[in-house]
Structure 1
Amino acid sequence: MIGIIPEHLDAVEITQDGLAELHVTRNMHERKKMMFDRSDAFIVLPGGLGTLDETFEIMTWAQLSLHKKPIILLNHKGYWSPLLELVENVVREGFASEANASLLQVAETAEEAMDLLKQSEAQTEPSNSELM
């Protein structure tokens, strides 16, 4: 497992034990870029505002055709249902297309998320996009 944490959080949060690698970045943007570069797909677990920020940024990058990596919401016990309703409302109100909404795949369990990854594995092309 690889850990990537910005230096300002490294001083106040507990770093996970048992990491194969730990990278301390200068800031959150550098962290997100490093996470993107090292990822083949994204499984979004229940989380807070930082998770929402990362999710919307990776969706925006996909919307802009900067990558085609799968984005899967793990909707454990309906945690992400309000977010999915918001995305549906954005589409309904004409601020995004159905294609934008379809950037997200939804899994109710970890096993279902893994199945979605396996299904998309053959379809996902490696991305060499230079994101800032």
Structure 2
Amino acid sequence: MTETQTPPVTLDALGPGPEYRSGSIWLPQLFLETRRAGLSNIEGRTFIDCLIEGPAVLLPLSGCHFDACNMGDAHGDARNLMLSPVGPQRVTGTIPIKDCQFVRCRFLGVGFTGPKTFLDEMIAVLGGNA
């Protein structure tokens, strides 16, 4: 039996921004590029008319705004997009964002986490129950 190997998938770098327009943003790739640049958070970026793709869980730290965005398929309940942290101080495995603007973006396969106040506000804005 011969073993065939497929070459690894190579993706074009998304780059450091600060602005991304009308593109497809794969969050795991953007996070990896950010970490390889020595940064802990995706910070100070603006996304306009982009498709923001997971799988991922975003952790907005501060100064993030979502304007006229489609947050994804909530299957009839906005709370389905939200994940409550269990620990009081940290959330491991998330993609932290800070001072980012999302304008008319569409999210696919993305969940959101953060403090209860953030989650309650997002649920209220999206028309769910807090």
TM-score between both structures, scaled by the size of structure 1: 0.31
**Higher relative contact order, structure no. (Cα contacts within 8 Å, ≥ 6 residues apart):** 2
TM-score between both structures, scaled by the size of structure 2: 0.31
Structure number with the higher strand fraction is 2
Structure number with the higher helix fraction is 1
